[in-house]
Amino acid sequence: MRKRQDSPPPPVDDAADEPSRSALKREADTVFELARELVALTATQRARVPLDDGLLTQIAQCHKVTSHIAHRRELMFLAKQLRNREEDLPAIRAAVDVPKEERQRETAQLHRIERWRDRLLDEGDSALEALLAEYPGIDRHEMRQLVRAAREDRGRTQSRGHYRALFQALKTLESGGAAAAQD
């Protein structure tokens, strides 16, 4: 009987170790979004990001170009330059995310203030008592007057100064409470 000879193992495919085209495209898209966010930053925010002169020059070029297609082309070139600096990307991403997180915190704070204002105007004294419990240093009489005046302004379409004044008082109160909590 003749012995069956085993066939040699299939050759190792080096392409299996490489990322797929879809994965490469997703990565390119995330770097493009990073480039878009870099261009959208203000000059003071951009100063906090670790960028070299070549990237800063390209960002300035993106600001100069106003045509939609040409602007996109400049963004694509900036993204290509970012991809070539792969070792710097984590630091750049982290620095770009800081202003985004700050904006989210500020937005959340404004929403809390708006909820307090609406609650004070809708519920009246019960909401005022809850506010006094949370912020014990408030002048009750002054806050009650602000709420009463804002309630009258609420229905008007023109002069809404008290409505805004109540918001500003709550904003000052929230800022002072946040600063006290950080101390």
What is the reported pLDDT for 57?
92
Q: Cβ neighbours of residue 19 under 8 Å, at least 6 residues apart?
A: 27
Alpha-carbon gap, residue 41 to 103, rounded angstroms:
12
Q: Report yes or no: 131 and 143 within 8 Å, Cβ to Cβ.
A: yes
Considering the domain architecture, whether residues 165 and 132 belong to the same structural domain is answered as yes
Other C-beta atoms lying within 10 Å of the C-beta of residue 114: 13
The residue from 57, 84, 111 where one domain ends is 84
**Positive or negative torsion for Cα 40, 46, 51, 55:** positive
Alpha-carbon gap, residue 60 to 93, rounded angstroms:
19
Which of the residue ranges 47-51, 75-79, 94-98, 141-145 has the most confident prediction, judged by mean pLDDT?
75-79
What is the reported pLDDT for 2?
60
Considering the domain architecture, whether residues 79 and 120 belong to the same structural domain is answered as no
Considering the domain architecture, whether residues 115 and 55 belong to the same structural domain is answered as no
125-134 and 89-123 helices cross at what angle (nearest 10)? 140
What is the reported pLDDT for 14?
57
CATH of the domain at 129: 1.10.60.30
Considering the domain architecture, whether residues 129 and 160 belong to the same structural domain is answered as yes
- Number of helices (H), then strands (E), in the chain: 8, 0
Considering the domain architecture, whether residues 103 and 157 belong to the same structural domain is answered as yes
> Does residue 1 form part of some domain?
no
What is the reported pLDDT for 11?
62
What is the reported pLDDT for 64?
92
Residue 181, pLDDT > 50, answer: no
Please state the domain count of the chain. Answer: 2
Considering the domain architecture, whether residues 105 and 171 belong to the same structural domain is answered as yes
State mean pLDDT over 166-179: 78
Q: In the chain, pLDDT over 90 holds for what percent of residues? A: 25
> Does residue 125 form part of some domain?
yes
Residue with tokens 């951009």: 46
The whole domain housing 160 covers 99-175
Greater model confidence, 154 or 22: 22
Residue 4, pLDDT > 90, answer: no
Considering the domain architecture, whether residues 123 and 79 belong to the same structural domain is answered as no
Q: What is the pLDDT of residues 106-132, one digit of tens each?
A: 889 989 989 988 888 888 888 888 888
Residue 134, pLDDT > 50, answer: yes
